Amino acid sequence: MQKRKMISYAGKILDFVLMLAVGWFSGIIIGKNMTSISSSLPFERLIIELIFLAVFGIIGFILHIIIHEAGHMVFGLLTGYSFVSFRIFSFMWVNDNGHIRFTRYKVNFAPGQCIMLPPSLDENNQIPYLLYNLGGVIFNILASIISLLILLVVGLNSLFGLICFIFLIMGILLAFSNGWPMITNSINNDGMNAFDIMHYPEAARAFWITLHISNRQQQGERLKEMPSSWFTLPSEESMKNGLVSSIAVYKCNRFVDERRFEEAAQLIDHLLSIDTGIVSIHRSILIAERTYIELITSNKEDLIENQFINEVFKIMKYLKNEPSIIRVLYAYNVLRRKNKNKAEQLKKKFEKVVSSYPYPQEAAAERELMQLVDEIASQKS
């Protein structure tokens, strides 16, 4: 566990240093060659080319995100996985019982994601994982190599050459930030997932389960309807691994879906009190669920105001469009603050979000939990 943290920490330092070094080097190269180009261009044309270069920087980043996710998909298909969903920013394509359906779903902490359904576990509870997890990194590197080859032909003394140079640099940076095992933006990156499976025997099965849960949710199945064996609580020692600990988070969510609120609260309190590999975004989700349970049960002011609700407000930056977070805030404004206007705004936002939510049965479960808040408020009035 300590080795895992040290590798992640070292990766963050190296990533920062690499960005500074690449930024400094790129500034010198681009500045030098733009000066050379500008000597033969009128001022107006130079401004247009500078704007074009800046715009391509944005386009190049988007292209590398698409290339990265395509790498996951291609290498997943090559190693026996099947397609579940493909998302670039808020544009998402999902496999809806064999038919590809387009929808919109925005996740602020992850610009792209490709979810694939893995093949069956073998007799050792293992699956092919390396190429699927690192497929995006491989594709970013390949794209950078192609850019380098073109650059060697056209040179840097042209706008097209500078575009190839920018695309090359972006690919290197993205490959490193995704390939070196790190916990970035509150989640495990691709390299960390591969590292966890490589070094922890239980992680492969946990990875397999999480991908199957995502697929079942997309096909319209609720957590409480899925095999109970998927939600067996791992040992405290094994939960120090990020992938394995995600099973415990799903178990808490399943308890909530089953309305076993007391058991969910006890498990959440336990998980928050011990040393685990639960990533910060999942930890925040657990606190949000614990807040909801407290609101609809004891509704103790000291727990809600001093321990829980501030954490919920913090994660709004990343999860403001998640139905579960909107539901928690709705319960807070109905049962604690008695703020009818704010509650009504949140209800409208909830309906807008779930209208295009890619997991229909999860949206239905969230709506039931919203209705439970109304029922409790009605009983107390």
Span 351-377, pLDDT tens digits: 999 988 988 889 999 999 999 999 999
**What residue type is 189 in one-letter code?**
N
What domain range includes position 253? 199-380
| Domain co-membership, 184 together with 204 | no
Domain boundary among 195, 222, 255: 195
| Domain co-membership, 285 together with 169 | no
| Domain co-membership, 245 together with 320 | yes
| Domain co-membership, 155 together with 238 | no
pLDDT tens string 262-310? 999 999 999 999 999 898 889 989 999 999 999 999 888 888 888 788 8
The end-to-end CA distance of the chain, in Å, is 50
Token pair belonging to 159: 């706008």
Lowest-pLDDT choice from 38-42, 162-166, 281-285: 38-42
Domain boundary among 146, 177, 195: 195
pLDDT at 126 over 80: yes
Secondary structure of 250-305 as H, E, C letters:
HHHHHHHHCCCHHHHHHHHHHHHHCCCCCCHHHHHHHHHHHHHHHHHCCCCHHHHH
| Domain co-membership, 188 together with 50 | yes
pTM for this model (two decimals): 0.91
| Domain co-membership, 157 together with 225 | no
| Domain co-membership, 286 together with 225 | yes
For residues 85 and 126, is the Cβ–Cβ distance under 8 A? no
| Domain co-membership, 349 together with 225 | yes
Q: What is the DSSP string of 323-375?
A: HHHHHHHHHIIIIIS--HHHHHHHHHHHHHHHTT-S-HHHHHHHHHHHHHHHH
Of all residues in the chain, what percent carry a pLDDT higher than 70? 96
Q: Name the domain count of the chain.
A: 2
| Domain co-membership, 301 together with 317 | yes
pLDDT tens string 94-106? 998 889 999 988 8
Q: Please report the sign of the dihedral spanned by the C-alpha atoms of residue 153, residue 158, residue 162, residue 167.
A: negative
What pLDDT is stored for residue 110 in this prediction? Answer: 84
Domain boundary among 171, 195, 219: 195
Phi and psi torsions of 84, nearest 5°: -115, -55
Lowest-pLDDT choice from 103-107, 133-137, 140-144, 148-152: 103-107
What pLDDT is stored for residue 25 in this prediction? Answer: 80
Length, in residues, of the chain: 381
Beta bridge pairs of residue 113: 87
- For residue 209, which of 175, 169, 250, 238 has the smallest C-alpha distance? 250
| Domain co-membership, 127 together with 264 | no
Rounded CA gap, 272 and 249, in Å?
11
| Domain co-membership, 191 together with 204 | no
What pLDDT is stored for residue 1 in this prediction? Answer: 57
Q: With cut-offs at 50, 70 and 90, classify the pLDDT of residue 52.
A: confident
Rounded CA gap, 68 and 304, in Å?
41
Distances (CA, A) of 342 to 79, 292, 339, 346: 49, 17, 6, 6
Token pair belonging to 255: 């308890």
Rounded CA gap, 289 and 49, in Å?
51
What pLDDT is stored for residue 181 in this prediction? Answer: 94
Highest-pLDDT range among 94-103, 180-189, 206-215 = 206-215
| Domain co-membership, 267 together with 342 | yes
pLDDT tens string 313-366? 888 777 888 999 999 999 999 999 999 999 999 999 999 999 889 888 899 999
